[in-house]
Structure 1
Amino acid sequence: MELPKILTASFEESLVLLDDSMIDYMIKKGDPKQLYKRPILSILLVLPVIALLYGMTFLYYHHDPNSPLPIPTINFLPQWLFWVFLSMWILSIAYLRKYSILYLKQVKYHVNSNSFIIWLMIALNLFFLTFFFSSLTILGVIVFFALVTIIGYLVARSKLRALSQQLFQTEQINNKLDDLMDKLIKFLMKYGWVAVILVVLWKFIFPGTAGVRTDFIGFISILAMWFTMDIGIVVAECYLFLPYLLYGYYKYKYPEDYRIWEEKTQIEWYGKKYFDKHIKGTTLEEKGEKQK
């Protein structure tokens, strides 16, 4: 894994990240200004998901008699764990508030979103594990997570290698996995909404198909959905969040270089509040430039 190496690029080398189509997409279309400018909108969006996560902690005590799964014997998602994760997420948001720099607002929002997705992924895995543990047995659980880990490692290694080659302009290795994932993500971002509409229409026209099968086929279907969800989140982390957050890391590492590159004044770049508190009247203030 080449994670430490991709953090050592110079400013000039980091500029090649702007050629990454995923980063370009996140910069131009992934900037939720209305959400981080109006925190109430973010709260309204995230509260239902937090309520769902809290509600999942009670399902251990309400076993469906028609379920193909036996009554769970171990609760891997106790209520106290929900409060631990919620507290950690809130503390991470509070910690990032100290980086009150205008050019980092979008990056901070995506860091908070990413940490929430990781919490959601862990909670869903513990939820499924609670109900599947008895059926899969310890051996089955080990095999399941071993497969997820191996595939996740291959996907992460492929993307890290591609980013390293991109940053340091090393010889490009024909990476079929990286090319496939790039094409797949672009396709889903472009046409994913069509699939959602088709599913909604199918459920509306054929409401009888909305139920979950309670036989062996239903068991395998849910297990496959769980596996696909894990791999999907790993792919999203590696191909959407990782490149963009790496770009945000270099903006934080070389703020003045990126400011000059984007041809912005210090107030436009840092924000008036940060400029007045940390830059104005110090050696960092750029002389001879009219700050608006």
Structure 2
Amino acid sequence: MILVFGKTGQVATEIARQAQDAQCVGRDRADLADPEACRDLILDMEPAGIINAAAYTAVDRAEDDEELATRINGDAPAAMAQAAARLGIPLVHISTDYVFDGSGTQPFAPGHATAPLGAYGRSKLLGEQGVSAAGGTTAILRTSWVFSAHGTNFLKTMRRLGGERAELNVVADQIGGPTPARDIAAACLTMLHGLRADPSKAGIYHFAGAPDSSWADFAREIMAQAGLDCTVHDIPTSAYPTPARRPLNSRLDCTTLDRFGLTRPDWRAGVAHVLAELGAQT
């Protein structure tokens, strides 16, 4: 049995679809604001492996609620990793491009120096450090710009707004890799099985969709595939201020994924799949 922290989130939903032996737990059974409860659940259940797909993801709200974000994103993953190490089982932990400062134009490699710009990034970095310090067999998977047919995400917002408006202004100077949650889920499962077979593969990895894109170009692809007659205008980040600073460069170097036989997914194919799923729901 694989224990998955997260039940209704984008990646956890996709893991549940793909793995019959996955047991996904939500806040009712494991509140990440209570790290000790997460640790105790692992020790009680004794799973074969763990995937942490749960997190505090309200980037802007974290600026005023860093203590809670740190408990959920920092302390809880550390407690999970300590329990996993005690049981001798592998853990895959999902992290984020927000641990970097977004400088330059080159893709960030897993070993690049971290320098988060805000509270959310700091909380996620603390989680990474806690997972690594636990001393078990762990893989930290940094990803970016997640989208799916579930929850709240950029694709669903653009699809809705594109059907309501003739024009939209979208940030064009932030560059990254949109990543389908379905592919992240598959990568997590592949990595977990890989760690069980070969613990030497433990480490930090990057996984993001290809090709790299701006938010504006991502939006234009969504409009085109959805058949929406909505013009997307490029604007700079400075024209769309938010409480939390966003990294301008979210490009991730994903080359080390070949250790698990993984490659970057084409996010445009992911858009087509998600739009078909959303269309089937209406």
Same-fold call, TM cutoff 0.5: no
Structure with larger Rg: 1
Question: Normalising by structure 1, what TM-score?
Answer: 0.25
So what's the TM-score if we normalise by structure 2?
0.25
**Relative contact order, CA 8 A, sep 6+: which one is greater?**
1
Q: Which has the higher strand share?
A: 2
